[in-house]
Amino acid sequence: MPTLPWTVPNTPPRDTEVHVFASRFETRTLWGALKFLAGTPAVWRQVRRSPGVYGATLKAKPLKRTFWTLSAWESKAALQDFVRAGAHGPAARGLAPQMRDASFTTWQANSDDLPLSWAEAFRRLP
């Protein structure tokens, strides 16, 4: 699966602070990676419909069992609402036993700097 392009469900106001979230997931097995991929379309539909998201992208290396997400949000609360709602919640709970490793980071950025770069996300992820 190639990298999903930066998608902008909601245009952010100019020159405003946004909440950025980046994640890295590694599954224990190739089967886990396939399960991750199988859940991606529903979660991506949820991203495109979420009111507080200003942009998101996904990078997948399924044969290496590794996935990254990068997104920009109106606020930390908007991100938390997304995590708990829709397809994301059940998908995350269902994949938990398949996960070998996961790391997350957040930071603040200016909306004028969107779209965000993968290089910046990789630099910040542990």
pLDDT over threshold 70, residue 15? yes
CATH number, residue 102 = 3.30.70.100
pLDDT one-digit tens code per residue, 88-113: 999 999 999 999 999 999 999 999 99
Contacts of 120 (CB under 8 A, 6+ apart): none
Domain count, the chain: 1
Question: pTM for the whole thing?
Answer: 0.94
Q: Which domain covers residue 71, as residue numbers?
A: 4-124
Q: Sign of the CA dihedral 4, 23, 71, 78?
A: positive
- Name the token pair of 12: 């952010």
Could you count the other beta carbons within 10 Å of the beta carbon of residue 126?
6
Peptide bond into 5 cis (omega under 30): no
Please give the average per-residue pLDDT across 114-124, as a whole number.
96
